[in-house]
Structure 1
C-alpha cells in the first residue's frame, strides 16, 4: 500500500456541506470526543462542550483533509441484527454464541476447526443458543446484536474478541467460484445461498477463518445503538467504522457516497471492523433490525471521505499537506 498523501480542502469543496444537519453531527461528536486522548482533540472537545453554533464550530476549528493511500474509496453498510435464541440448548436453539475463552491464544483455531471439532463444547462459554447458524455468522460479521429470548425479554451482545485469523469475504468467495457476478452479491443473496445449499453452504462459511466471540452488554439502554470501538453507543446514519491507522477514532468525517442513493453527510468515526482497511474505506451504521440489515446489505458504493482535523493537527502533517 502506498504511503498516504494528505490534501487540505476548503469547506466549499465539500459537496452538500451547507445542506447538512450540522447540529446532529455535533451531538454525535460530543458523545465520544471526551474519550480522545490527543491534546489537540481534547481542546476541541472542551470548546464543543461550551455550546457552539454547529456549522460555525466545525468551520472555525477544523480543516478538511483528504487522505489518500492509493486505494479507491469504498462504502459499505452495517447494522445491529435481531436474533431468536434461548439461554438453554434445545429444540431449534442449537447454535451457540460464545464468550471469549479465557485461555485462548492468538492466532487460535479457525472457524472450521472450532465448529467441526466442537472445540468449545461443554466448557460453559455459551451466552445463548440461536435457531439459525446463518444468523450467528452474520452477527459475527456485524459484531453486535440483540437476542430475543424464547422465555421473553432479551439480551444484548457486543464484540468480545476474535480468534486472530484473517477475515475473508464470503461474497467474494461466491464470485471466485463463479456462482455470482460481483454486482449480484448482497447480504440477502449470501444468506439465501447458504440456506439453500446444505452442507455446501456450511462449508462456504468456513471459507472465512475469522471467528468472533461476544460479551453481554445489557447495560446499554434499548433505545440506544450498540457499542462501537470506543465503547459508546453508535448512532444510526451518523456513525461510520473506519481504519484507525489513517483516521482517528472520534474524528468527524465528511462522506460523499455515490451509488443509487447518494449521501453527503458529516459522520463521526466511532467504530472499526476487520474488513475496514484503508484511508478511503468506511462502513455506515444503518440501525437495528431487518430493514436496517437489508438497507446496509445493498451498499457497495464509491465516493470519497474527507477527515475534519483540528487546524493545528492538519498543519502538523506538513510538508505532506497539499494546499
Structure 2
C-alpha cells in the first residue's frame, strides 16, 4: 500500500513525456550501480529527516534564494526538478520514515562513486563557530573581520566568489591580491571594510576555515556572518604542516590540536597561520538565530544532513548516501555513520569526485566532532530516475 502511494506521488501527469536520466560522467571517477538493499545502513536511516533537507533544496530551485554561492555543475538539474515535483505531490505533511524511504527509492537510482585513483571516498567535518565579537573596536576587540574589498578581481576578470586566483590594480598593472600576512599587517586598514571585531585571531582563522560564524555581541545579539569570497591564494591546511614537522601525530590531528598549538605559543601560531596565505572575507546575513549556516546553494544547512561537495563535479540538491565509521563520541572512537545527506554547499578544500565535508551544526560540541573527522568511507550518489523530456538544466 505504501509503495502504491509513493508511486502515485512520483508518477507524472504525462509519463510518455519523460526521459530517463543517464548517470553523469564525473571526471576522475567511475560510477558503479548498486541496489538500495546493498547499501549498509540504508534501511535503518531516518529518511524523513533527509526528505526535509531535500525539500529545502527544492525550494531553492523554485525561487531565487536570498543568498547564492558559486554555481554548481548543472548535470542532474532537470532530474532533480522532476524529483522535487514528485516530492511536492506527497503533500504538506511530513512523510513517515518509511514513506520517505520509498520516495527516494522510487525517484532515484544509487551509484557508488569510485575514484580513478583507487581507494575510498574521503570525508571531513565542518561546523559554524560561535565567537565573541563587537561592531566597533575597543575593550579588547581589536581583530578586524573584513568584508569583501571592492578592488578584488578574480582572475577571470569578474567578481565571482571562489572562482580562481584574485588580482588588484597597482598603477597600470594587475598584481596578485594581498596575502594573509599583508592583510594582517594592515593592507586593508582604514577602508571601512570591517564588519565586526573579535578578541582572538585564532577565532578568526577558524571562522575562515569554516566559512561562517555566529558573532555574539556584548548586548547578547547574534550577528550572522557568511563567506563572501577570498583573496585568491591557495588554501594550505596547517594541520598538514604540523604533522610533517612532527609536532602533532597524524592519528591525533584535529582542530582542537591545532588550536592548542596556537594558544600554547602565540608567535608560532601566528607564523603558522601566515603559511596559509588564503584569506576569507565575510558579509552579514539576515538569518534567524536558529537557522543553520547558509550554504552555497542558498539555503540554511541542516546539521547531520547537509554536505559540501566539489561544485565543479556535483549538482547542488543531489542526495548522497554517506557510509563511514567515525569518531563521533570521543577521539579514537569508531561508530557507524550511515546517512542520506544532501549536497548544499562547497569549499575551496573540497576537491574530487568522492570528497565531502559533513556539516555538524553550531558551537563547541559540533566543532569538536567536526574537527576529528578525517576518514574514508563510501560515497553513493542518488541519480534521479526521470526528467521531463526537453527540460533544460537549471544550474545553481
TM-score by length of 1: 0.92
| Other structure's SS at 2:335 match | coil
Q: CA deviation at 1:60?
A: 0.9
Does residue 111 (structure 1) correspond to residue 180 (structure 2)? The answer is yes
| Other structure's SS at 1:292 match | helix
The separation in 2 between residues aligned to 1:27 and 1:256, in whole angstroms, is 20
Partner residue, 1:83: 131
The separation in 1 between residues aligned to 2:110 and 2:27, in whole angstroms, is 21
CA contact (8 A) 1:240 1:270 kept: yes
2:111 to 60, 65, 68: 65
CA contact (8 A) 1:162 1:213 kept: yes
| Other structure's SS at 1:18 match | coil
Does residue 288 (structure 1) correspond to residue 349 (structure 2)? The answer is no
Alignment of 1:242-257 (within 5 A): 242-257=309-324
The separation in 2 between residues aligned to 1:58 and 1:152, in whole angstroms, is 42
The separation in 2 between residues aligned to 1:102 and 1:172, in whole angstroms, is 33
Q: CA deviation at 1:196?
A: 1.3
Does residue 297 (structure 1) correspond to residue 297 (structure 2)? The answer is no
Change (3 A) 1:152 1:43: same
Q: CA deviation at 1:173?
A: 0.9
CA contact (8 A) 2:228 2:283 kept: yes
Change (3 A) 1:2 1:158: closer
State which structure, 1 or 2, has the greater radius of gyration over its C-alpha atoms. 2
Moved more, 9-18 or 238-247: 238-247
The separation in 1 between residues aligned to 2:296 and 2:216, in whole angstroms, is 24
Q: Structure 2 unaligned segments of length 5 or more: list them.
A: 1-25, 62-73, 155-165, 167-176, 327-333, 388-396
CA contact (8 A) 2:319 2:342 kept: yes
Does residue 275 (structure 1) correspond to residue 314 (structure 2)? The answer is no
Partner residue, 2:101: 55
Partner residue, 2:295: 228
The separation in 2 between residues aligned to 1:2 and 1:281, in whole angstroms, is 13
Structure 1 residue runs of 4+, over 3 Å off? 34-37
Partner residue, 2:160: none
Q: CA deviation at 1:262?
A: 1.9
Alignment of 1:1-323 (within 5 A): 3-36=28-61, 38-51=77-90, 53-71=99-117, 72-106=120-154, 107=166, 108-116=177-185, 118-217=186-285, 219-259=286-326, 260-312=334-386
TM-score by length of 2: 0.76
Q: CA deviation at 1:312?
A: 4.4
Moved more, 95-104 or 26-35: 26-35
Partner residue, 1:316: none
> When the two structures are aligned, how many residues end up with a matched partner?
311
